[in-house]
Structure 1
Amino acid sequence: MKPSPVIAAALGASASATPTHNSHKPSFNWSQTKQLIAFGDSYTFIQGTAGHANYSFIGDALSSSFHPSDLLADRIVQNLTGTAEGGPNWVEFLTSCGVKPGLTNPRSCKDKQLWDFAYAGANTIEDASFTPLHHNHTLALEKQVKQFVEYGDPALTSTHTVKKKGDVLIAFWIGINDINDLSKLRGRNATFAPLYERVQKRQFELVRQVYDLGYRHFLFMNLPPLDRGPSPSVNASMVAEFNSILKTHADGFQQAQKDATVLQFDVNAVLNRVLDGYEAYGFQNVTGYCKAYDQPDILTDPGKYGCAPLETYFWYNSGHLTSRTHEIFAGDLGKFLKGYA
């Protein structure tokens, strides 16, 4: 189910937003990158043996602390519930770490190690009056970064897992719960720009905390076409406005931190093009999903539930993309990053 050469070329040519360039930023080389450290929500979360089941790689809001040995003993779990996509997600495809079924030690990944602090269901801000936590154990992005600053970074550096922070790419992909929750809580007729502005202002305050640890290479991903989902709570103009405000803040961060590398990947453009030309990717259904997606034998016997194979669906459920969709845009992201070698 490979994309046609024509469409693949079109994606590679126009899907990626070019980062701001300046003469002072350090050289980023994807081929020499040793670790990917990720923050975000369910689109980025991977299950860990030391994580909260179905939510995280390590810890939760009820117990976010850990010893370096706990992190190094943690293993990526790859099975139907190891991500929110029914299979490997974009960070796993991008790094080739944790893609195979079973357990994977991130330090054993030959290409790039994957250390994931994303939490399924996370918003950016933990504020009950703004975007309430989905669960009492949820680690909002604020708490993910706090966990990383207090425990993750010390663990990775003290054990020499991260030997050189210039060989690390930090990825932030969040906002899906923010935009959906703000819409549901306030209605579509609300004035959303100030709310999105608050989200992005806080996100880049958190990015600055990671920058202050010595990391210099950052990847930001915008919102996918949530407006084209099976049961959208947002429209295209809301998604575009959110993404525009994200870009403004990412550009501003680059201008303020001239020694940083700020990479912006337009996943929204990639996936809109995939939706428009879905048959070239082997998709048969891009408007609905298999209602039995969470059944334990759905991957081996989808016909039992009246479904086609899951890789023929663009959407895994009402709010998530299938593993196949993640594989497609991760491939295009990989091409984008290989331009920095």
Structure 2
Amino acid sequence: MKLLFFALFLQGAYTTTLSKRAGQINCIFGFGDSYTARCFNISGVQPAEFNPMGNPPDDRCTTSNGPNWMEYLTTTYNSSLILTYDFAVSGGAIPNSLVDQVMFQYEPMYTHSNHTWTGDNTVHMTWIGINDITIESAIYQHPSDFNATLPPRFDQYFGLMENLYITGARKFMFVNMPPLDRTPMIQNYTADIVQNFAEGVSLFNDVLLPQYVRWFQGNHSNIQTTIYDAHLAFNLILDDAPAYGFVNNSCFNSTDCVWWNNYHPEGAVHQRLARDMVTNLTPLGW
């Protein structure tokens, strides 16, 4: 059934109803890394009713062996037409890649005189931090001190969210870190490195992201924010992979595995994430 679903996915058309209730979402701006990237080119074909992701025309550039979560939100788990502009880049990290995505792609092309969206009908979605944790982990830093290195990155992260606010963004979804310590790549390292990754993810998810989102919300009474708990969603699957249709929680390079490669999830995981995200998005007008 799972394989049949994927075979039919791209034919499973998004709803094209154009009459919308006040505040209903019809636009996504996405920022992030390889878990989100599709290689969207701001100079290429733009999202439109019968091509809601714009370019590229297929999923050859994802790291999920098919559609990723943003494409599922755009084409499957929505009640009306969604146009999606996905600036995420594989390898993206804070600040350099996120600066490029926000200030040199999104801002020049989709704000100012090109401002065709509203804060009421648009969600700005950001899932970034995986590469930041990796870069600052014990794999590359000796010693690794996330308490010293992650907060400055969050300052830069939410400085750029302030940029989005200035352009008119009013609805924001943030995604927290998956359990990177449980990926096949990190599981192949020594126990101290596995623990180091778990500590970095915990600091990101349990302390910094909630703290900065509260600060951001507190500074702007006219915004709506939500945090999607990807960490919980991944753990539910990894704790009982066969119940979700996977062989186990460690294999990769097969559609029956949780993982597409040793650090990125398969398309079926992205499908589940997108479906779950609707709960977070509904209060924003989804």
Confirm or deny a common fold (TM above 0.5): yes
Q: For 1:10-89, list aligned pairs within 5 A.
A: 32-46=24-38, 56-58=39-41, 66=43, 71=46, 74-79=54-59, 81-89=60-68
Contact 2:29 2:85 in 1 (8 A): yes
Q: Which runs of 5+ in 1 are unaligned?
A: 3-28, 47-55, 60-65, 100-108, 127-139, 291-309
Query: Deviations along 1:127-146, whole A, 9 cap, x unmatched?
Result: xxxxxxxxxxxxx0011111
Amino acid in the other structure paired with 1:43: Y
Q: Does 1:265 align with 2:265?
A: no
Does structure 2 retain, via aligned residues, the 8 Å contact 1:166–1:216? yes
Counterpart-to-counterpart distance in 2, 1:221 and 1:30: 26
Matched, 1:327 2:263: no
Shift of residue 96 of structure 1? 1.0
Counterpart in the other structure of 1:208: 162
* Corresponding residue for residue 91 of structure 2: 121
Name the CA shift for 1:156/1:227 in 2 (closer, same or farther; >3 Å): farther
TM normalised by structure 2 equals 0.80
Does the 8 Å CA contact 2:24/2:120 hold for their aligned counterparts? no
Say whether residues 1:91 and 2:70 are aligned partners: yes
| Pairing 1:145–2:102 present | yes
Q: Is the 8 A contact 1:287 1:315 kept in 2?
A: yes
Percent of matched pairs sharing the same residue: 29
Indicate whether 1:186 and 2:141 are aligned. Answer: yes
Q: Is the Cα contact below 8 Å between 1:171 and 1:219 reproduced in 2?
A: yes
Distance (whole Å) between structure 2 residues aligned to residue 39 and residue 317 of structure 1:
22
Aligned to 2:202: 240
The code of the aligned residue for 1:116 comes to: D
Cα displacement string for residues 36-69 of structure 1 (whole angstroms, at most 9, x for unaligned residues): 11000111111xxxxxxxxx2116xxxxxx5xx8
The secondary structure found in structure 2 opposite 1:235 is helix
SS of corresponding position for 1:338? helix
Q: Deviations along 1:230-280, whole A, 9 cap, x unmatched? A: 021653222111222122111111111111111111110111111112222
Give the Cα separation in 2 of the matches to 1:192 and 1:44. 24
Deviations 1:93-117 (A, max 9, x none): 11217x9xxxxxxxxx952111111
Q: 1:197 and 2:189 equivalent?
A: no
Give the Å deviation of 1:174. 0.2
Residue of 311, 315, 334 corresponding to 2:259: 315
- The equivalent residue for 1:256 is 219
1:261-307 Cα offsets, whole Å, 9 max, x none, are 111111101111111122221011311212xxxxxxxxxxxxxxxxx
Q: Which of 176, 184, 200 is the matching residue for 2:130?
A: 176
| Residues 311 and 322, structure 1, Cα contact 8 Å, conserved in 2 | yes
What's the secondary structure of 1:170's corresponding residue?
strand
Are the structure 2 counterparts of residues 336 and 262 from structure 1 closer, same or farther at C-alpha, using a change threshold of 3 Å?
closer
C-alpha distance in 2 between matches for 1:155 and 1:321 = 38
- 1:230 maps to what in 2? 184
Q: Unpaired runs of 5+ in structure 2?
A: 3-20, 49-53, 187-192
Conserved in 2, the CA contact under 8 Å of 1:30 and 1:340? no
Count of aligned residue pairs for this structure pair: 250
Q: Distance in 1 between matches of 2:23 and 2:127?
A: 21
1:77 and 1:338 map into 2 onto residues whose CA distance is 28
